[in-house]
Amino acid sequence: MTDSLLALLKHYGQTQLWQFADQLTPERRDNLRQQIEAIDFPQLTNLVAGNDKAVDWHAVAAAASPPPAVRLGQPDTHYSISDARQAGVQALRDGQVAMLLVAGGQGTRLGFDLPKGMFPIGPVSGRSLFQMLCDRLSAMSRRYGADIPLYIMTSPATDAATRDYFAKEDRCGLNADQLHFFCQGQMPAVDSANGHVLLAAKDEVALSPDGHGGIVAALKKSGSLDDARQRGVKLFYYAQIDNPLAELCDPALIGYHLLAHSELTTQVVRKRFAKEKVGNVVSIDGKVQIIEYSDLPDDIAQQTTPDGDLRLWAGNIAIHVFDLAFLEKVANQADSGLPFHRASKKVPHVDDQGQLVSPTEPNATKFERFVFDLLPMANNALVVESDAARVFAPVKNADGAAVDTPELAKAAILKLHRNWLEAAGARIDEGVRVEIHPGWALDELEVQEKIHGDLHLTTDTFLM
């Protein structure tokens, strides 16, 4: 057994992985062997050699034009919003929609030890990100008379703690049959200098989740695609755990997707300025795709229309609707179809002397798949604009950073809910913080029905 493992490592120039094996107990050695055997060495060798990275972003960006889109505040061109809503509502009532939530990331920027979904974000309630999103799903399920199944993607970094959390919190109010977990794969980190796979400890490969794009392979491997098909699901509504304002299962977005016979519809927001740090959703040779902000040359980012608006205006907020059949098609392609991206990171590891090293500069390359690489593979991909103030409050960085912090996300939630209440005639004293539970009201229309203009709030309130 060990001989064939050593031959394999020799063949791929990775014998450093076994260098401390004789210092390990049989059990720990076996653990290391299993981790090594799970590595796809031919794939990794190809990635390290850079054989996959032939993209000339300047040329790509030069060919980019605005994507086909349903824009806010512009007359409906093909489909009216009421037709879209009706089609979406029908799909929800018929139980054709399931929710996909990705929660496998390590959340390193936030600096929170537990899975990011457990982070308390409710500005008054203190509810966690998981709880907030599940509350919305429960309210939507009640409104449309059909339980919306939730498939949560974890990773080995978050799986056990996430499952424990849901068990302790009564599945955040969801029914047992509604909630599924599936775990994504991992990729080894390699030394940027020589392509050697790093060891996190003498008996442990330095592994990290393989990116949110790992969802395609993980959905298939876990049997979740089959499970969804058996339930009669036709569409997945995709969102990330770190956006508490994500308007899960928005009927209009689902409806546009259905009316346009799209395989992938993506909700976007208008970029506030040319180099905003969001992916740019564009069209190239008739295919919708994303150019990351770091890859978009300044001169192209700054181009404007005759009205003075940004020509490449659409910012990615990672909310998508996928056809189940489309994901099945991609999952059945060799290697799950999605390319890998590389990132330079600081990865702690043991050196050749067995000493733990904590680098202060990026020392390693990590490989990740991104879910948005599905866009150019989809037929009739469609872009639908929404208002960032309604649907986007990313929780990425720890408080104190300039953008995307919990504090800013909480402020965005409070502002939206205050706006809904005041538009319905409620009075809220200055400085008073009000948060709305989706079971009380899911949107501004429901707020209007609830209060009939006779509400005056003088202290912080959680309306539930």
Site residues, ligand UTP (CB under 6 A): 102-109, 116, 153, 155, 184, 209-212, 214, 240-242, 396
Instruction: State the nearest-atom distance from the C-beta of 129 to ligand UTP, in Å.
Output: 9
Q: In whole angstroms, how close is the CB of 219 to ligand UTP at the nearest point?
A: 12
Instruction: State the nearest-atom distance from the C-beta of 155 to ligand UTP, in Å.
Output: 6
372/420 with CB nearer ligand UTP: 372
First to last CA, the chain: 60
Provide the minimum distance between the beta carbon of 184 and ligand UTP in the complex, in angstroms, as a whole number. Answer: 6
Cα–Cα–Cα angle for 221, 195, 208, nearest 5°? Answer: 40
Question: Which CB, 44 or 436, lies closer to ligand UTP?
Answer: 44
Cβ at position 116, least distance to ligand UTP in Å: 6
Cβ(245)–Cβ(288) below 8 Å: no
| Closer residue to ligand UTP, CB minimum distance, 88 or 104 | 104
Nearer to ligand UTP, 242 or 323 (CB): 242
Nearer to ligand UTP, 345 or 450 (CB): 345
Q: What is each CA distance from 104 to 23, 66, 215, in whole angstroms? A: 32, 31, 10
> At its nearest, how many Å lie between ligand UTP and the CB of residue 128?
14
CB of residue 419 to ligand UTP, shortest distance in Å: 26
Separation CA 74–CA 426 (nearest Å)? 30
The CA angle 358-363-368, to the nearest 5 degrees, is: 110
Task: Give whichever of 228 and 428 is closer to ligand UTP, judged by the CB atom.
Answer: 228
Query: In the complex with ligand UTP, which residue's Cβ is closer, 256 or 392?
Result: 392
| Residue at shortest CB range from ligand UTP | 105
Q: Give whichever of 299 and 335 is closer to ligand UTP, judged by the CB atom.
A: 335
Question: CB of residue 101 vs ligand UTP: minimum separation in angstroms?
Answer: 8
CA distances from 291 to 275, 370, 385 (A): 12, 12, 17
